[in-house]
Every structure is written in C-alpha cells, then in structure tokens.
Chain A
Amino acid sequence: MDRQTVQRTREAFLSGRTRPLEFRLQQLHALKRMINEKETEISTALKQDINRSQYDTPLLELIGIENEIKLAIDKLAVWAAPRPVERNLLTISDEVYIQPEPLGVVLIIGAWNYPWALTLVPLIGAIAAGNAAVVKPSELSEYSSLLLRALLPRYLDKDLYPVVTGGVSETQELLRLRFDHVFYTGSSTVGKLVMEAAARHLTPVTLELGGKSPCYIDKNCDIRTACRRITWGKFVNCGQTCIAPDFILCEPCIQGQVVECIRQTLLEFYGADPKCSPDYGRIVNQRHFNRVIGLMEGYTPVVGGQSDASQCYIAPTVLKDVPPQSRMMQEEIFGPLLPIVTVSDMDDAIHFINEREKPLALYIFCSDKKASKKMIGETTSGGVTVNDVMMHYTLSSLPFGGVGQSGMGRYHGKHTFDQLSHQRACLIRSLGMESVNLARYPPQDRRRARRVRMALRSPLIDMSKRTFIWAVTATIIGFGLFISLLVILLIASGLNCTCWYWRGFYNYFY
C-alpha cells in the first residue's frame, strides 16, 4: 500500500509539474490558507494529543509555520535562481554558476511534541525546492496525524504530497523504499536506524535529534530574569521540547536563589496548582509518564514532584544537588523535571559539558560578554542562545540543527531550501578559444605544464555585476575628483585666463 503511494508520488514528480515556480508558490499559498482556516481544528487536535493550550498552539507552532511560508513565498525566485560564482583565469569568458535543483521524492518523518511545526516546516522547504514529499507524522500524536492526513490532500496536490500514517512497522516499511532525501526528527536511537536504512539506497539524510541541553547560570548575573526565561523554556509543552534547557549548572552559592526564583515564576505562570492551569500541558502517554517518573526515583524535589497517572500529569519539578551519575543525568529528560547540578565555576561547567555528547542547544546566562564568548569558544553544540532559551530557533536566518549525537544537517528559512536541493555546478564554455587548451593536451612537456600551472594557480576573480559597476563608478568618481582638484588648484593659483573664464560664466547667468 505504501509502496504504491510512493510509486505514485515518484511518477507525479517525474511528470515535471513541481518545476515551475508558479506551481510551488501556489502550493505554498494553499498551505498558508490551511494553517489560517483550520487553526481551531488544529488546536483541538493538539489539546487531545498533549493538552496544549489554545494560545500555545499558535504561539509555538502556527505563527512559526506561517512565517516560514511567507519567507519562502517572498524569496523563492531568489533562492531558485542560478547563483553565479567567482571565476578564475581559465574560465574568465565562461558562464559559471550553481543551479539549485529538486532532489526528487523526500520522506519527512515528524515527531509528536510539535507535530505540525516539525512536519510542515520541512515540507515547506521541500515544496519550495521543487520536490515531491511523503509526509509521515508521528503516530504518538494521534489526533494531529489523522487531522493532517485529512487536511493536506484538500489543500495540496495529493499525488505529490501524500500523508502516510502508521506506527513502527509502517515506518520500517517506508524506510525500505528508495527516497532522494530522508528528513527525520526524533531520538538518536531511531536516528541511527533511519541512517542505516538510508545508507542502503545512498540516500542523504537530515537528522534533527536531541540530547541534554545544558543551561549555565553565572553567579554574577540578574538571576531573577534568567530564571524567568529558563522556567518558561523548560516547562512549556510540559518539558517536551528538543531544545528545552535540560539541566542547570550553577555554583552552589546561588543554587538556593535559583530555586526560589523558579518557584516564584512558576506561581506567576501557572498559579498555585498547575494542574488547574489551562496553560500547563500533559505528558503525551503513559509510557513516557512512567519513564519520566522513573528518572526522579530516589530524589526529593525541592519544588513540585506531584503527579497524577490518570491524567499523565507531572507538576513542574525542580531538584537540587543532583549527582552527575544519577539516572536523570544519563538520558534526555523530555519532561518537566529540572535538575540543578553544582559546579565550582565556569571552567568546571565547560569541562562538564565537554565530557558529554554534543548537545542540540547550549544556554549561557552571564552578563560578562568576554566570559560568554569564552564558553562559546571552548564548547560546541548545535546552537547557542546567551541570556535566553530557545530563541535561536525562531530566527529563520540561523541554521537550526545538531552536531554529533544531536543530529546532522540543518534547516529553517533558506537552509531548508538548500538542504533539500541539489546544488548543481554548471560551467558553460564555448567551442572557441581552442588554442588556450593546447597547453593541457599531450604530448606533455615542462613548458606546457608551466603554462597550465600559471592558469590554474590564478586567484579567483569576482566578475559579478556589482563589482564591475563599483569599479566603473569608482574610476569615474576618481577621475572627476582629480579634474576638480586640478581646476581648484588652477583657480587658486590665480591664473588670469581661468579667472576671466569663470567671471564670464558668472556674468552670463546672473
């Protein structure tokens, strides 16, 4: 069944109808309409999946998706156009450019924590790049995936962008088929399996995985504001965000203050009983609920800790003095538990971070610019936000992606377009000027080799129009200035003839 769907998608792609930009723009406009018209249905589905509040849905997903669509529509002509590049002496009279091209059929495997954003943002890039796409939303966000399967064919070309639902076995079946790119968002364990499956067909992959994103709070900073921001980032979507601050690193002297500030902020955000707050989410299912509760075992939280299995509810929880070898520190929490691990200073924090796998995000709260720069310089991570959390995700011009165990490849904005295109190198020469080529033909000798050497070692020349215009303008201005300088000097030296000339000129007009 899936095989036939993918076959039909490939045939639709080979028909060539995704190539014209008008078609791609039309599909993007249709997608925008879907997001705008069906916001209520999408919110309802998310409430049923993960108890997402009606405000969090547009805030966290739909506005971002709309933003991406607007950007793609606005910039598509620029992104898809041939990109001229610098030439060298050998190619000085040739046309040299990079032509972005569609890859073919892209498989997008979404995740359940932000089912719409993590499925549709890659889809936007796939459509913009001229690909066909098979969309496989996560079965854990059941209502959202069924809604997507119902809605997408009503707005987009249903042969080019089919939605395939199902669980693990359906996904495995899909991964046996051949695609031109696989875009996966999820866990590292499954990421390895996806890459292995893709290897059999030599399919390139983009893997947006996770990890434990550290959050370092310097003792000399506005701790109150820092904790407000961290609290928001941690407990939004009930901690089920790939770039949520996973754990805090701080010095023991400020630990108490951090805990207090978080406690106060939680009161402000979710009230005395977060269970009753419409803005506080739930864990997606029983299995994850049990997993997160299990991480807390043996530790007494200083804030929160209550839970209700029937509702998959876990209160916003903070734990202090957590030892690095605890279970909580061995895997990504992906839940509303915020452990605080104490370190002796920034260098200790850097050492701690570098001992572990490269995280998807790194957060640094520090007022000292030099110190933040040092931390950035001595660590690595997918992305960094200093003095806030998660915001680097919202800027389309920054490439969003992981490194090492947190993933490979990147997307958002133009980066999605580039990731899902083939950048084809094009060199258009002419059949003339054959004499230039003589040096490379056999019989080879030293003299010829020297000539070739000269040509191949020449620096790249920027023949773009802009440089040319600048060069011409600069020459004219330079010349103009030189002439005016001469004239001024002549006037200043008081040559009679010049004076006469100018006086006459003046008299003529006035």
Chain B
Amino acid sequence: MKRSPCLAPPFKIQERNLPKLELLRMSREQQAVACARKAFETGRSKSLEHRIRQLKNLKRLFAERQQEISDASKKDLNKSEAGTQLFETVGLEGEINLVIRKLKEWAAPRKVEKNLLIISDTVYIKPEPLGVVLIIGAWNYPWAVTIQPLVGAIAAGNAVVIKPSEVCVHTAKVMEELLPLYIDKELYPVVSGGVPETQELLRQRFDHIFYTGNSVVGKLIMEAAAKHLTPVTLELGGKSPCYIDKDCDISIACRRVTWGKYTNCGQTCIAPDYILCEPSIQDRVIEEVKKSIKDFYTENPKTCPDYGRIINQRHFKRIMAMVDDSTVAAGGDNDESDCYIAPTVLRDVKPEAKVMQEEIFGPLLPILPVSGLDEAIKFINKREKPLALYVFTANDKVIQKMVDETSSGGLLANDCIVHFSVSSLPFGGVGNSGMGCYHGKFSFDQMSHLRGCLIKQLKMEGMNSMRYPPHTMEKLGWVRFFLLRNLDLSSMGKMALLAALAVMAAVLFKMYLL
C-alpha cells in the first residue's frame, strides 16, 4: 500500500487528533478519504463559483486530451477514436454544459406548497452537499460511467473519491494522471487499484457511494455501506429483453438492434441482451441482422476499425462457454489471442440454454421464439427486472401493453440505448438491475441532501395554544380546522386574477359601452 504525501495535521476533531505515527500507519486509501474529508470541511467545495470552475476545467480536459483518451480506449477495448467520442466524451460534454447552465437554479432553495397553519411563514427545500462521495467506475465505458456521476457530485458541492475500474488498465492510468491536473486534487482524489484496494476503500466511511457494475458486487457494496448507514446508488445490469413485433419495419428494427448490440462488442449494460419474436419472422430477423452487420463492420469484422474486442481473456472464455448448447445462425468465429469474437446470432434458443442464465455482455445475440406479445410479457415478468426493455412495433397498443404489464429500469420503443443520452430522463435500474438514478438534475438530487426548512416567527403565539395542554375538545376542533390539506395557492391566485379581470371588464363595459 503506497503512502500518500497529501496530508498534513492538524485534523478536525472527528479524526480524533491522530498522532503523527498513526498517520503514517494509515493506508493510502484511508489517507485519500481523510484528505478529501478535511478539504470538504474547509467549505470550499460549496461555493457555486468553485463548482462551476471545476466543471469548466473538466470540460477542458476532454477538449485538450482527446488524443490520450482515445489511445487508451483503443488499447483497452479497441474502440475507434470516433467511437470513443460518440459514446463517451460527447455525452459528457453535453452533461457538463447542462449542469453549468442550470446549477444556480438547481442549488437554489425550492418553494413548496403551504397549509393554512403556516401560511405566513417561509418554507422551502434547501439542497445541500452530502459530504464525501465514493464513485466506483466500470470498465466498459470508463469515462462515461465514472465522470458523469462525478459531474453530479461536484455540482452538488461534495468532495469525491474516484476509483476507476482496474480492468481497463490504460484508461485507469490516464484518469489517474490527468484528473489531478485539471480538478482540485485534494477534494477529488483518484485512487486506483484492484479488489483489495476497493475493499479497503469500502471500509472507510463515506456520505454516499455510487457504484456501476454487476449485481454480485453490488450486494457487497451495499452491505459494506450498511455498516456506516451510507446511502448508495447502484447502477447494475441484467438481461435486457428486446421484443420485435411482427407488425413493424423489420429491416429498420434490426439495424437499430444490431447497432445497439454490437457497439463496444456487446459490452454495454443497456445492450439488447436477447431477442423475443414470433417464429414466423425469425428467419427474416436473422437475415436483416446479418445484413446490418455486414454494412457496419464489413465482411471481416476482425479487420474493421469500428469493431471492438472483449476486455480480457477471462471474459472471452466466459462468453465463448455460453455458445455451446445453442445453434449459431451467424458469426461464431473467434480468436482467443486477440480477444476477438465475431458478431454472432444464435437461433431457436431455449430458455434453459447457458446463454440465457446470465447477462451476456458480449457479441452474442440469442433469438428466442415466442408465440406472441402475451407470451413475451410472461417470459419477461418471470425473470429479474432488467435495466432496459426494448420493444419494436408500429402498433401503439403493443407499446402501451408493454409499459403497463412489465417493469424495468427504462423502456425504449423502436430504438436501442439512446434513452441514455436524454438528460431529462432518470437513468437507473430497479430490483436486481439497481437502485437510485442519475443524469442531469437527477445526478444533482441524488448526491444532495434535500433539507426541509420551515422558518417561523416568534409572534402569533395565540395560534399555538390549540396544541398546548391542558387539552380540550374545543382546541382539538381548531386543530382539525387548520390542518386541512395544503392549499393550492397558485389556483387561488389564478382565481383572484380572473375575478379582478372580470371586475375590470364589467367596469369598462359599463363606462364605455353603455
């Protein structure tokens, strides 16, 4: 465990005034967290100017260091330069721009409805920083899933400990080098490392933990967080079903599914995991998918610069093991030395097949024939709630039925993945696919404490006598009267305005037309 030279005593009373010797015995992770907490307690992360400055610096990072970022992505996942931009940095830029523009509005006190009892008082919800947030990133879109929560955390005024995924080795190194050059390195330290370092981090106390990854580790994170009563946001995964109705433009549907599936070599948490369709269109679907694969990645995807690779040997073996008991309709070739798996389609897959037992996270697209929409819905509902649900149809009623009778993190009709880029939609899972949500204002709210504030005055004490003992029936009657449900002041205001206008109109009418 490395020693970090970042800290200098004295600490705040919460650190129990550690003697110098103990400081040296602290692990690197403990030191980073203590450093971030000390920096947070100075209060400098709270001013809006500071937050906006840090966000602008982040934006500069992506503008100035695009080349290093792309090179690292290519080494890790064989992402093309344009691909990296498309899927990671452009979305981030949009998010940062949105936050900078809206921060003042989001951070301001928020008005709420009043009731009769407190009609003359000031009431509002005040968003406040939580403190020190831990962000654990993932390896498939390392920049998007690590920096996007970071943007929200900074915007909310927190200090953040950033733990990039060690699996994307080159990108983690670039993050560790570049982030301290652009943003405050005491408030936002980057801690790299593998499983033991993450476990050490999780033993420390945070005010929020944001984790992107799989459900198995998600459970461990929540258990660790429980020991400190730390709230968590877990962006997990699952098998995102994709239902293709026979009543739709199959060629376009398959194009979109192909794009969503094989981008980043299938290693996307919201990739369409498997297809459900009627047997009558299965052949057509396979044809169209094959056609789109050829259009996107040429006859030989291995040589195409836009086609990615599996992240490492372990995942390669895991994915290849799934192909065994299913029929390959397209693709299937692979090269272990290059971690290359061709875009593969599997047909007539059975629910018990190996490929249907866990999230694929690879370029295998199983097709399961179902008798119709009802059977598809039953199939989906028998399984864990997925992170995304896709339905392709020209019939609105089919879409409505899917919305009403299933549940998932998000639902996208007639396309794949793009709901991720709409900042006004909350992005997150439900059940096994996660808890909490983020993007845009949701990130800000997720990493803030929304504090209810009621400002009264020491006058009008007479009003309070109805709540004080000794109690009587009469006093109780008054309480019942005043604790009516909240007044809709806006509609009362509108009615008052309407009445005033009506009076004015009547007066004018009387004066000038009679």
* Interface residues, chain A, with chain B CB atoms under 8 Å away: 14, 16, 19, 53, 55-56, 58-59, 63-64, 67, 70-71, 74, 85-88, 90-91, 96, 98-99, 101, 103-104, 180, 188, 191-193, 195-196, 198-200, 202, 204, 207, 209, 221-222, 225-226, 228-229, 232, 268-271, 277-280, 355, 365, 367, 369, 372, 376, 380-388, 391-392, 394-400, 403-405, 407-410, 413, 422-431, 434, 437, 440-446, 448-449, 452-453, 456-460
Is residue B226 within 8 Å, beta carbon to beta carbon, of the partner chain? yes
Q: Which of A180, A395, A440 contacts B259 (CB 8 A)?
A: A440
- B255: chain A residues at CB < 8 Å are 434, 437, 441
In the complex, residue of chain A having the shortest beta-carbon distance to the beta carbon of B453: A384
- Tell me if A180 and B452 are in contact (CB < 8 A): no
Say yes or no: A367-B458 contact (C-beta < 8 A), given A202-B431, A431-B252, A453-B85: yes
List residues of chain A with CB within 8 A of the CB of B470: 269-271, 277-279
- Taking a contact as CB atoms under 8 Å apart, the answer to whether B90 and A457 are in contact is yes
- Are B419 and A425 touching (Cβ within 8 A)? yes
Q: Are B229 and A192 in contact (CB under 8 A)?
A: yes
A383 pairs with B451, CB closer than 8 A = yes
Dominant secondary structure of chain B at its interface with chain A: mixed
Q: Say yes or no: is B471 at the interface (Cβ < 8 Å to chain A).
A: yes
What B residues does A279 contact at CB under 8 A? 469-471
Kindly provide the distance from the CB of A352 to the nearest chain B CB, expressed in whole angstroms: 10
B106 at the interface (CB under 8 A from A): no
CB distance from B293 to the nearest CB of A (A): 10
The 7 tightest CB contacts between A and B, nearest first, are: A55-B471, A398-B452, A444-B82, A199-B222, A195-B226, A442-B306, A279-B469
A residues less than 8 Å from B483 (CB atoms): 63-64, 67, 394
| Structural contact, B86 and A440, CB atoms closer than 8 A | yes
Knowing that A193-B226, A423-B437 touch, tell me 9 more A-B residue pairs with CB under 8 angstroms.
A74-B485, A195-B222, A202-B434, A384-B453, A386-B453, A387-B457, A396-B486, A407-B229, A425-B426
Residues of B within 8 A of A410 (CB): 450
* CB-contact partner of A397 in B114, B236, B404, B480, under 8 A: B114
Q: List chain A residues, Cβ under 8 A from B424.
A: 85-88, 96, 460
**Which residues of chain A are near B231, meaning CB under 8 Å?**
408-409
Q: Contact at B411–A425, with CB atoms within 8 Å?
A: yes
Contact call B229/A408, Cβ cutoff below 8 A: yes
Answer yes or no: B91 CB below 8 A from chain A CBs: yes
In whole Å, how far is B205's beta carbon from the nearest beta carbon of chain A?
Answer: 10
B343 to chain A, nearest CB (A): 11
Known: A397-B112, A431-B252. A383 touches B453 (CB 8 A): yes
Complex alpha-carbon distance, A243 and B113, angstroms: 22
| Cβ 8 A contact of B430, one of A270, A385, A422, A446 | A422
Output the least CB separation between B360 and chain A (Å): 20
Q: Contact mask B235-265 → A, CB, 8 Å, 1/0?
A: 0100000000000110011011001000000
Residues of B near A91 (CB, < 8 A) are 418, 422
What is the CA–CA distance of A409 and B80 in the complex, to the nearest angstrom? 42
- Does B218 have its Cβ within 8 Å of any Cβ on chain A? yes
- What CA separation (Å) do A277 and B113 show in the bound complex? 37
Q: Please, how many angstroms separate the alpha-carbon atoms of A445 and B306 in the complex?
A: 10
Q: Are A202 and B130 in contact (CB under 8 A)?
A: no
Q: Given the known A-B contacts A395-B454, A425-B409, are A55 and B476 also in contact in the complex, defined by CB atoms under 8 Å?
A: yes
A448 to B81, CA, bound (A): 12
Which residue of A229, A367, A394, A449 is within 8 Å of B86 (Cβ)?
A: A449
A444 in contact with B83 (CB, 8 Å): yes
Query: Given A63-B483, A448-B82, are A403 and B469 neighbors across the interface (CB < 8 Å)?
Result: no
Q: Are A403 and B451 in contact (CB under 8 A)?
A: yes
Instruction: Indicate with 1 or 0, residue by residue over B305-328, a CB within 8 angstroms of chain A CB atoms.
Output: 111000000000000000000000
Q: Which of A98, A270, A384, A423 contacts B452 (CB 8 A)?
A: A384
Complex alpha-carbon distance, A277 and B469, angstroms: 9
Which B residues are closer than 8 A to A by beta carbons?
12-14, 80, 82-83, 85-86, 90-91, 93-94, 97-98, 101, 112-115, 117-118, 123, 125-126, 128, 130-131, 207, 215, 218-219, 222-223, 225-227, 229, 231, 234, 236, 248-249, 252-253, 255-256, 259, 295-297, 304-307, 381, 392, 394, 399, 403-405, 407-415, 418-419, 421-427, 430-432, 434-437, 449-458, 461, 464, 467-473, 475-476, 479-480, 483-486
Q: Which A residues touch B436, using CB under 8 A?
A: 204
> Contact between A232 and B467 (Cβ–Cβ < 8 Å)?
yes
Contact partners of A202 in chain B: CB under 8 A: 215, 218-219, 222, 234, 236, 431-432, 434-435
**Complex: how many Å from CA A397 to CA B91?**
34
> In the docked arrangement, what's the CA distance between A388 and B484, Å?
20
Are B229 and A395 in contact (CB-based, < 8 A)?
no
**CB distance A386 to B461 under 8 Å?**
no
A384 to chain B: closest CB distance in Å?
5
Are A59 and B467 interface neighbours, CB within 8 A? yes
Contact A431 B469 (CB under 8 A): no
When the two chains form their complex, are residues B80 and A444 in contact, meaning their CB atoms are under 8 A apart? Answer: yes
Q: Which chain A residues lie closer than 8 Å to B423 at the CB level?
A: 88, 460
CB distance from A276 to the nearest CB of B (A): 12
In the complex, which residues of chain A have a beta carbon less than 8 angstroms from the beta carbon of B93?
453, 457
Q: In the complex, are the beta carbons of B451 and A384 less than 8 A apart?
A: yes
Indicate which residue in B97, B130, B419, B480 contacts A63 across the interface (CB closer than 8 Å): B480
| Shortest distance from the beta carbon of A264 to any chain B beta carbon, whole Å | 13
Smallest CB-CB separation from B461: which chain A residue?
Answer: A225
Q: How far is the CA of A444 from the CA of B84 in the complex (A)?
A: 10
Alpha-carbon distance A200/B435, docked complex (angstroms): 13
Residues of A within 8 A of B296 (CB): 441-443
A196-B223, A425-B411, A426-B411 as given contacts; A188 in contact with B306, CB under 8 Å = no
Q: Contacts of A395 on B, CB cut-off 8 Å? A: 112, 114-115, 118, 123, 452, 454, 486
CA distance A424 to B295 in the complex (A): 34
Docked pose: A268 CA to B471 CA in angstroms = 12
Question: Is A355 in contact with B130, judged by CB distance below 8 angstroms?
Answer: no
